[in-house]
């Protein structure tokens, strides 16, 4: 039900799914989130399970980075462990993706976006929602609090992404550059911008201090994190699309569908 004032009295009126007095295109944002995030989840699942075409020369898909166990020369600890159960599907990506996945799923920005787009209770402010009992943050609060810890995992993954990005300048020991190199370095930069603009990261740098400006390096770091934080939504989406694009580019060159222009 929704309320409106009639002759000075508060009157109740029925309010079903999608009901609103808003005149703007309120549906555009949740629809966009549904399509982009939904497509990403489908693509990432396919890419993670295919366990093929994730590397080409010095390039390694970010979905598989770091490759702990696997068949490519990028694997840190060699091929799949012999003790891996035969009935359990294996892919190096399945060992890695839960960490960035948890980081994204518990992100303060994404929560609001996917609650509206997927749960639709309500799909936007002042719009009628699906008739489910909304418990959102309350029901998931403990789980969502994991976010501050997943941030540390994201930092570790960033180290590997930068490492792989810089390694992509060297093929068989020779320095050079290819389109894949540029794609991988941009990917590492965008994911860094997303992680360093995280609310938890900003708090990690500037929280719990009575005088923030007293320590100049910390203050500068906090100012940088704040700048990124103000653009967190933009970096959340750009980095999401770019990480999928990076994987797809490496898939295309690895499978022979396209040629990677490079200087080698």
Give the interface with ligand FES as residue ranges (CB under 6 A): 107-109, 147, 198-200, 232
- State the minimum distance, in angstroms, from the CB of residue 200 to ligand FES: 5
Crossing angle of helices 199-206 and 216-230, in 10° steps, is 160
- State the minimum distance, in angstroms, from the CB of residue 162 to ligand FES: 18
- State the minimum distance, in angstroms, from the CB of residue 233 to ligand FES: 9
Dihedral sign from CA coordinates of 140, 147, 190, 159:
negative
Q: Which is nearer to ligand FES, 116 or 232 (CB)?
A: 232
Dihedral sign from CA coordinates of 78, 58, 160, 47:
negative
Q: Which is nearer to ligand FES, 74 or 147 (CB)?
A: 147
- List Cβ<8 Å contacts ≥24 apart for 85-94: 89/49, 90/51, 91/48, 91/49, 91/50, 91/51, 91/64, 92/51, 92/54, 92/64, 92/67, 92/68, 93/47, 93/48, 93/49, 93/51, 93/54, 93/61, 93/63, 93/64, 94/48, 94/49
Q: Which is nearer to ligand FES, 240 or 250 (CB)?
A: 240
- State the minimum distance, in angstroms, from the CB of residue 109 to ligand FES: 5
Q: Which is nearer to ligand FES, 107 or 127 (CB)?
A: 107
Q: Which is nearer to ligand FES, 147 or 171 (CB)?
A: 147
- State the minimum distance, in angstroms, from the CB of residue 209 to ligand FES: 20
């Amino acid at each position: 039900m929704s309320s409106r004032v009639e002759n000075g009295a508060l009157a109740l009126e029925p309010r079903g799914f999608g009901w609103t007095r808003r005149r703007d295109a309120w549906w555009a944002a949740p629809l966009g989130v549904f399509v982009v995030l939904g497509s990403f989840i489908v693509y990432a699942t396919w890419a993670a399970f295919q366990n093929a075409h994730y590397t080409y020369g010095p390039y390694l898909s970010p979905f598989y980075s770091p490759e702990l166990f696997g068949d490519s020369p990028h694997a840190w600890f060699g091929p799949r462990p012999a003790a891996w159960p035969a009935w359990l599907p294996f892919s190096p990506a399945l060992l890695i993706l839960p960490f960035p996945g948890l980081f994204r799923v518990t992100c303060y920005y994404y929560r609001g976006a996917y609650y509206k787009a997927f749960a639709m209770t309500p799909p936007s402010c002042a719009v009628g929602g699906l008739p489910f009992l909304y418990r959102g943050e309350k029901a998931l609060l403990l789980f969502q609090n994991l976010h501050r810890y997943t941030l540390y995992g994201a930092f570790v993954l960033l180290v590997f992404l930068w490492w792989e990005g810089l390694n992509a300048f060297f093929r068989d020991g020779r320095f050079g550059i290819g389109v894949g190199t540029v794609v991988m370095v941009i990917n590492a930069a965008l994911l860094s911008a997303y992680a360093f603009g995280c609310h938890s990261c900003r708090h990690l740098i500037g929280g719990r201090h009575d005088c923030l400006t007293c320590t100049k390096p910390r203050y500068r770091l906090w100012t940088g994190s704040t700048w990124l934080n103000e653009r967190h939504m933009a970096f959340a989406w750009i980095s999401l699309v770019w990480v999928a694009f990076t994987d797809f580019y490496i898939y295309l060159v690895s499978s022979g569908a396209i040629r990677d222009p490079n200087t080698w």
